[in-house]
Amino acid sequence: MNIPPQRLPRRRFLGFAVAAASGAMRAEENAAFVIKDQELFRGQTRRLKITRDGRPVAALLFPTDYPTHFRLKPELHQVCTPSGLPVTGSHEHVFIHHQSIMCGHGRVQVEGDVRVVDFYRQLPFPDPARADRWHAKDRNLHQLGPSGIQRITSARWLCAGGQAVIRLELAWQTREPGREKGDTLAVEERFYRLASEGAANIVDVFSTLKSAPRPLTLLPENDHGYLGVRVHDLLDVEDGGELRDSENRVNATGHFRDPEGAQKAPRWVDCTGRLGLAEAGIALMSHPANPRNEWYAREFGLMIVSAAQSEPVRITPEAPFAFAARFIAHDGPLAAAEADRLHTAFSALTAASLRELF
């Protein structure tokens, strides 16, 4: 703000001061999105840095598979509110595979292949001699790896019409000893759409997973996949934040898959807390066109929606798997009526409409 305080009426000046302290300042409605392509650390890492009106919105981090880099799926990192407050986190103090806004599935199997590959966790190569004191023998994580990598094979983007859209093509590949690239088990087309409305930055993610070439199955996986978000550690329930959902539940955690009752699947879940003097949060919304919307929420700041928590999803050349979710990074509280409006608006958006932009 370049206007000297003495030139503002006292009431207006106080309004600016309160807005700044609460994190409720909004970017200009006609502000433009900018995407900057950054290749860092001798070209080993790559990031698309997304800003609006000069303020950070998010950054898309590309997967890397080096001895000192261990990012096996794209991460939309440090998603911010319009005032620039970061409301997502990356694993925080626990769980390395929780990476801000994320997409993947923990148990993927190709027809005729004995391997069950994890495209959600970040498991290293197996160590048969090492015991896993936290899990049963049939789930020894030291012997389940390695996790696969979602390798980006093409990235295109545009900024126009008050939005930024990123289109990725990905190969879901195994990781093999002594090989730079593993076997491709599936291919994916993914869109990230970023927009802004008032006190909210909106991130829409559309994923279409296809067989390559044999049919594959997303095996039932309670907690690991498909689209989700790890909330900033200071905003979660453990640190004083609050989880609310479309069914008026407060701090309800666990699995929500039922059509009715206490475990009824919500349309959206929001986590709001405080960052310093500011109140902010992030909401996750399901798309009604998804084949199933099964939810998992935890007090440490994890929110997930999936179609394959309780039942398998089979993917064939004739029947790809399409799934979408919306994320709302907001300054101040998110009223239930506003969340419902944003969810309804999301229902009208499709991957096909984004594909037409390219």
What is the SS3 assignment for 58-117? EEEECCEEECCEEECCCEEECCECCCCCECECECCCCCCCCECEEEEECCEEECCCCCCE
Q: What is the pLDDT of the chain when averaged over all its residues?
A: 89
Mean pLDDT, to the nearest integer, of 102-109?
Answer: 96
Q: Which CATH number fits domain 5-355: 2.60.40, 2.130.10, 2.40.360, 2.70.98?
A: 2.70.98
Q: Which of 24, 167, 139 is nearest to 83 (CA)?
A: 24
pLDDT computed for residue 74 by the predictor: 95
What is the per-residue DSSP string for 155-185? EEEEEETTEEEEEEEEEEE---TT-SS--EE
At 32-72, the pLDDT tens digits run 999 999 988 877 889 999 999 999 999 999 998 877 677 89
Q: Is residue 225 within 8 Å of 117, Cβ to Cβ? A: no
Q: Is residue 149 within 8 Å of 69, Cβ to Cβ? A: no
Mean pLDDT, to the nearest integer, of 278-296?
Answer: 98
**Weakest-pLDDT range from 8-22, 52-66, 81-95:** 8-22
At 131-183, the pLDDT tens digits run 888 887 677 888 888 999 999 999 999 999 999 999 999 999 999 988 888 99
- Buried residues in 111-127 as b, exposed as e (16+ CB within 10 A): eeeeeebbbbbbbeeee
pLDDT computed for residue 3 by the predictor: 34
Q: Any residues with CB less than 8 A from the CB of 54 and at least 6 apart, and which?
A: none
pTM of structure: 0.90
pLDDT computed for residue 122 by the predictor: 87
Mean pLDDT, to the nearest integer, of 185-194?
Answer: 98
